[in-house]
Amino acid sequence: MKKVFTLLLMALSVTLVNAQEGAQDAKSKEILGELSKKAKTYKSITADYKQTYKSSKGASSSSTGKIWVKDKKFKFTSSEGQDITSDGTTVWTYVKDDQIVYVCPVEDALEGEDFSDPSELFTIWEKDFKTRYVKDETVGGKVYQIIYLSPMKPATKKFHTIVLKIDKEAKQIYKLIIKSNDGSTTIYQLTNFKANPDLNDGLFKWKPKPGVDEEEC
């Protein structure tokens, strides 16, 4: 449960904070600077995503879902039957197959994880990462910019590389690839991205369901 939660935060979050600049080559600095500038105009977002997981032994699985983010509040749904909701203080993780919702304080849900805030993707390169522009590639008439991120302190991370595939015209992340130290790869593809939609705060509160047990973390 915790691993899925952390990867979702890593791959589908928005940040509005300032941070120190990491080591960047000139081209990646230019591209990511434009991306950061645009991301900091986001007060809320919605997006659909597809997640593909590939193990080091070649096994693979995929799922789809949707995300809503507003300030420190967030909500995820997954085709695997898991919904994660937070009002910025509490995290509710609903597991449909078990008919259980796990209730945790945010700080406990994220304790010891690499990304401790649902606001650490679209400017994560500004802190503790080396960045490198690789190339532009054209797919279906669209131009995507490929940038590699690598942690400055790799011994403290569970991954060694994050690959960003950026829609050059939209200045938005289209695909993100996380290469973990255990040899596995997790790919997230974002679609139907909408910036600054009007989201009611009630969306980010767990609504009790008949027959669903609550369990504290």
Ranges of each domain in the chain: 2-199
Indicate the pLDDT class of residue 165, thresholds 50, 70 and 90.
very high
Distance CA 148, CA 132 (A): 5
**Is the confidence at residue 176, as pLDDT, over 90?**
no
Q: What is the pLDDT of residue 152?
A: 86
pLDDT in tens, 75-120: 989 998 989 899 989 999 999 999 999 999 988 776 655 444 545 5
pLDDT digits (tens, 9 = 90+) for 142-153: 999 999 989 888
Select the more confidently predicted residue: 38 or 10: 38
Q: What is the mean pLDDT of residues 199-209?
A: 94
Mean pLDDT of 7-19: 39
DSSP state of 49: E
The H or E element spanning position 32 is helix 26-39
Q: Give the CA count within 13 Å in the CB-facing half-sphere of 173.
A: 29
- Look at residue 25 in the predicted model and tell me its pLDDT: 82
Please give the Cα distance from 42 to 48 (Å, whole number).
17
**For residue 1, what pLDDT is reported?**
40
More confident residue, 66 or 1: 66
Average pLDDT over residues 193-199: 94
Strand pairing of 213-216 and 73-78? unpaired
Rounded CA-CA distance 197/64 in Å is 21
Confidence check: pLDDT of 33 > 70: yes
pLDDT for residue 188: 87
Query: Contact at 8 Å (CB) between 87 and 206?
Result: no
* CATH node for 2-199: 2.50.20.10
